[in-house]
Chain A
Amino acid sequence: MDLGALVVPVLAAAVRAGTPVLYATLGEIFAERSGVLNLGVEGMMLVGALVAFVVTHTTGSPWLGVSAALLAGGLLSLIHGLLAITLRANQVASGLALTIFGTGLSGFLGKRYIGVPAESFRPLPLPVLGELPFVGPVLFRQDVLVYLTYLLVPLAAWMLYRTRWGLNIRAVGEHPEAADAMGVDVGRVRYACVTLGGMLAGVGGAYLSTAYTAMWIENMTAGRGWIAVALVIFATWDPLRAMAGAYLFGGVNALQLHVQAMGSTLPTYLLLMTPYLFTIVVLILATRETARKRIGAPAALSIPYTRSG
C-alpha cells in the first residue's frame, strides 16, 4: 500500500483529531478577544468530558451529555470571571488555578465512572455530500459534533467581524476605556465571552468522552487544553485560522501514525518528533507573518479593567 491511498484516511483523521481542540480554541478566542486570558481550558475540558460522560451514561443520550457539558463548562468559567473580571485578580494565576481545580474535581468525582461503557455519537455519513469524491470521506462521514463546527466557525467569524456584538467584543479587548466611554458595559461583555469560552471548552471535552471514545478516564484530555491555548496565538485570534490550525495539528499526528502502521523504514524517533517540530516551524512562520501585518494580541489582553477617575 502506498501513501497515496492513505491521503483520505489521514485527512479524515485530521478533522476528527482536530475537532475537540477546535471547540476549545474557538472558545478561548472569544475570551481573549474580550481581553480575558483564561488558562483554565484544560480544567474546563476535563470537567466537560466527565459531565458529558456521566449524563450520557445515566440517560443514554449523548445529546443530553453534551448539553450538560456546555452548562458545566460555562459554570466553571464563571469562577474565572468572578476572580479575573469582578475581583481583578491576576488572570494567569486564576486560570491556572481553574485548570488545577478542574483536573482534581473531575478526577475525584469521576472515580465511579472509570471502566464503565456508555452510548456515544456514531459517524453519521451525510446523504449526497458524503458520496462526493475526496471531500465526502474526509469531511462528511464524521459525527454530528464535527458537522456542528462547520457551522460554528463561520458563525463565529461573522459574529466577530460583522456584527455590533463582535465590534463591542473587539473594542473591549483592544481599548476598554474607549468602549466604556461609548457606553459598552465592559464587565458584561467580558463575562459573556468568558462564559461562552467555558461552554465551548466543555463541549470540546465532551467530544473526547462521548464521540472520540466512549469512556471516562482521569486526565483524558492529555494536554489538549494547552494546545488550544497555543493555537489561539497561531490562529492570530481568528476563527477560520483556528480551524486550519486544529486540523494541521490533528493531521501531522495522524500522518505520523499511518507512516508507522505502513511499516515505513523512516527512523521512528523522527516520526514521533514531527508534530512538535511542525508546531515550532508553523509558530515561527505565523509569528513572522503577524509581525509583518502588525496583527497581535488584543491590546488589553490579561489586563483587568478599572474605570479611572
Chain B
Amino acid sequence: MRGWKYAVLLLLAGMLLLPGTLFAQGTKLKVGFVYIGPIGDDGWTFSHDQGRKYLERTLPYVETTFAESVAEADVERVMEEMIRRGVKVIFATSFGYMDAVLKVAARHPDVIFEHATGFKRAKNVGTYMGKLEEPFYLAGLVAGRMSKKGDIGFVAPVPIPEVIRIINAFTVGVRETNPKAKVRVVWVNNWFDPAHEREAAQSLLNVGVDLLAHYQDSAATVQLAAQNNVYVVGANFDQSRFGPKVHLTAAVWNWGPLYVEIVKRVRAGTWKSEDILWGMKEGIVALAPLGPMVPSDVRQLVERRKQEIISGKRLVFTGPLKDQSGKVRIPAGKAMRIEELMGMDWFVEGVVGQIPKK
C-alpha cells in the first residue's frame, strides 16, 4: 500500500513538473524590461513600453516581461528575479541602474544586458540611446518661423547633458529661421509634476513668450498652450490631441525597431557589446506630423533638412557655434565630437536662462 502512495505522489509531482520542463525547452526567447517610472507616465517609460509591445508583436519567438517603478535600490533584486524566471535579455531603461547592471551582468555571463543612456559596458552589457536632438532641431525650425515675437519658452525637466543638448538643438533650429529669436528656459527640476509644469509654462507666458516647447513627461504644457491659444512643440509623443489648434509638431521616441534589431542579433548569435546611438536615420526618433497651421515653405524646409540629417549630410551641431556669452565654442566647419556632445554643459547663443552649476 505504502508503495502505491509514493507512486501516486511521484506521478503527481511529475505532472506538475512536466509543463514546466516543456516550457523551458520551448523556443520562446524571454526578454525583460526594467522601468524607472510607471508605464502610465505618458513619457519616457511609456515610450519604452510601446517599444516592448512592438517587439512582442514583431518577433513571434519573443516573450516579454516587465517591472515598472523600480527604484535604483531595488533593481539588482528585480533583475535577479527575472533571470531566475528564465529571462535571457534585459533592457534596463534608466541611467541610475548602471552599476547594478554591471554587478548582475558579472554574475550571469549567459544573460545579455542593454542599458539605456548609460556609458559603462562589459562583455555582456551594451548601451543604447537615441538622438532626440535631431527632431528637436527640426521642431526649432518650425518654432522660429511660427513665433511672431521671436520670444519662445522652454519648460525643461532636469539639468543633465541630454536635456541641455535638446534645448540647444531646438535653439539652433529656431535661430536658423529667426536669427534674432531667443529661447527662455525654466527648470521644473522634475521629470514629472503636471501642476508644476503648467505653472512653469504659465510663468513663461507671463513674461511674454508667444510659443512654448517642453521636454517633460506630461502634456501639461501643451494643454496650457491650448487654453491660451499659443503655439506649442510637444515631446515624447504626438501630443496634438491635447491642443489640435496649437500643436505645431513634437519630437517623438520610437524604440521598437531598436529592440527588434537587438533581439534579432541575440537570436542570431551576432550580438556584441557596443554603444548604440541611433537617430532619425534608423527611425528611433522622429518628428510628429506638422499641424495644419504650418505654411508650406516651412514644411519644405523641414523636409529638406530631415533628408539631409537622414543622409548624414547635416549634423545638428556644426560650427560656428557660439555660447551665451558670444564666445565661439565650435569653430566654423567643425562638428562636435561625441564626447563633447555627451557631456554638453553649456547653452548656445540665443538661450536665456542658466544651467545650475555645482
Contacts and interface: CB of A to CB of B under 8 A. Distances in A.
B127 interface: no
Contact of A208 (B194, B207, B208, B242): B194
B196 A258 contact: no
Contacts of B317: none
A216 B189 CA distance: 21
Contacts of A214: 223
Contacts of A13: 199, 202-203
A306 B226 CA distance: 56
A215 B40 contact: no
19 contacts: A9-B202, A13-B199, A17-B196, A114-B40, A115-B241, A117-B241, A122-B227, A222-B190, A222-B193, A257-B200, A258-B203, A260-B186, A260-B353, A261-B184, A261-B186, A261-B200, A268-B187, A268-B353, A272-B187
A143 to B, nearest CB: 11
A218 B207 contact: no
Contacts of A111: 39-40
B153 interface: yes
B206 interface: yes
A139 to B, nearest CB: 17
A254 B203 contact: yes
B138 interface: no
A96 interface: no
B223 to A, nearest CB: 6
A111 B49 CA distance: 13
Given A215-B194, A254-B199, A263 B355 contact: no
A17 B198 CA distance: 10
Interface string A212-224: 1111011110101
Given A257-B199, A263-B352, A6 B206 contact: yes
Interface string A248-265: 000001100110111101
A117 B242 contact: yes
Interface string B173-209: 0000000000011110110111110111011101111
B204 A261 contact: yes
A11 to B, nearest CB: 11
A9 B206 contact: yes
Interface of A: 1, 6, 9, 13, 16-17, 20, 107, 110-111, 114-115, 117, 122, 208, 212-215, 217-220, 222, 224, 253-254, 257-258, 260-263, 265, 267-269, 272
B206 A107 contact: no
B219 interface: yes
Contacts of B355: 268
Contacts of A217: 40-42, 192, 194, 218
Contacts of B202: 9, 13
B356 A222 contact: no
B42 A114 contact: yes
A290 to B, nearest CB: 29
Nearest to B194: A213
Contacts of A17: 195-196, 199
A202 B218 CA distance: 22
A129 B200 CA distance: 27
A115 B196 contact: no
A257 B186 contact: yes
Given A115-B219, A261-B200, 18 more contacts: A17-B199, A114-B46, A115-B42, A122-B227, A213-B195, A213-B223, A215-B218, A215-B223, A218-B38, A222-B192, A224-B195, A253-B199, A260-B353, A261-B204, A263-B184, A268-B353, A268-B356, A272-B187
Contacts of B189: 272
A3 to B, nearest CB: 10
B353 A222 contact: no
Contact of A257 (B41, B203, B223): B203
Contacts of B159: 268
Interface string B198-239: 111011101111000000001110010001000000000100
A16 B194 CA distance: 13
Contacts of B227: 122
A155 B222 CA distance: 37
Interface in B224-275: 227, 237, 241-242
A253 B196 contact: yes
A115 B204 CA distance: 24
Interface string B315-358: 00000000000000000000000000000000000001111110
A182 to B, nearest CB: 44
Q: Which 4 pairs from chain A and chain B are nearest by CB? A: A263-B352, A257-B203, A222-B193, A268-B356
A259 to B, nearest CB: 9
Contacts of A215: 42, 194, 218-220, 223, 242
B325 to A, nearest CB: 12
